[in-house]
Amino acid sequence: MNLMLALKAALLGIIEGLTEFLPVSSTGHLILFGHYLGFESPGHSFEVLIQLGAILAILSVYAKRLFGLAKGALTGDKRARNFVIAVLLAFLPAVVIGVFAHKMIKEVLFSPFVVCISLISGGLVLLVVDETRFDTKVHDIEEITLPMALKIGFFQCLAMIPGVSRSGATIVGAMLLGAEKRVAAEFSFFLAMPTMTGAFTYDLLKNYKHLQWNDAFAIGVGFIFAFIAGLFVVRSFLGFVGKHGFTPFAWWRIVVGCIGLSAWYVYG
């Protein structure tokens, strides 16, 4: 088996796991690093399918809480039932828009130039958000109402533009709607589960016929390393945000976007 392919897939898997739940855009980072590493995947399936590793990381960390919510929803706990419905409702806009726009997104927007512009723009937005004092009304994720959840779902759809960041869009959206910073970040974790599972399933069904053995091998390697890196981020992100806010991620986005633009200008 090609050692270089394995090393590239492992590196990209680590990048996916480290960036999936941070407001920096995992897909954007994968497109940039993959482009300059000379890594190619049929239909950009690798970038989507290795998200399964990050999905399993968050499921393993939140397994006990997820079981409690499911049990509560089934046994008549109104708060638990409403929260489960809220997450599914927030997921709905991505389903509808993703199905109809899937081809256009992959063929037109999966571009290093688009990613760099989105990274820089999103970084500037995070800087403003981090300095703004919002009127917070929601201090627990189970207090998020159904209309609020649906609105957060539409914010999440902005992340279909690579480089915007799914977690960044949902966190900023939730904060604008009155959720405190930690609640917004945690709701983004829960919303990631159906969203990423749906994206994984849909992309696999669309592209599995085009995948060769080498592609499957690379996806498997990327999945393993995404899972390991994802575990680290899920366990530490909420505490980090509570202490440092989003400014470090904002500057990271701006720096990476500027470097990517420079490389794109020089190397194409």
Q: Is residue 182 assigned to a domain?
A: yes
Structural domain containing residue 238: 3-35+44-262
pLDDT of residue 254: 96
Q: Is residue 63 assigned to a domain?
A: yes
Average pLDDT, whole number, for the chain? 88
Average pLDDT over residues 242-254: 88
pLDDT of residue 93: 94
| Euclidean distance between CA atoms 124 and 33, whole angstroms | 22
Q: Is residue 268 assigned to a domain?
A: no
Average pLDDT over residues 12-23: 90
Q: Is residue 111 assigned to a domain?
A: yes
142 exposed, middle or buried (CB, 10 Å; 0-12, 13-18, 19+)?
Answer: middle
Q: Is residue 140 assigned to a domain?
A: yes
pTM of the entire structure? 0.85
Name the pLDDT band for 268 (thresholds 50, 70, 90): low
Predicted confidence (pLDDT) per residue in 39-62, tens digit = 877 767 888 888 889 888 888 888
Q: Is residue 119 assigned to a domain?
A: yes
pLDDT of residue 117: 94
pLDDT of residue 172: 93
Q: Is residue 267 assigned to a domain?
A: no
Q: Is residue 59 assigned to a domain?
A: yes
The domain total for the chain is: 1
Average pLDDT over residues 128-134: 87
Predicted confidence (pLDDT) per residue in 156-196, tens digit = 999 889 899 999 999 999 999 999 988 998 899 899 889 88
| Euclidean distance between CA atoms 236 and 255, whole angstroms | 23
Average pLDDT over residues 107-130: 89
Predicted confidence (pLDDT) per residue in 200-246, tens digit = 888 888 877 778 888 889 989 999 999 999 988 888 876 787 777 88
Residue 1 has pLDDT above 60, yes or no: no
Closest-CA residue to 184 (of 193, 171, 173, 195): 171
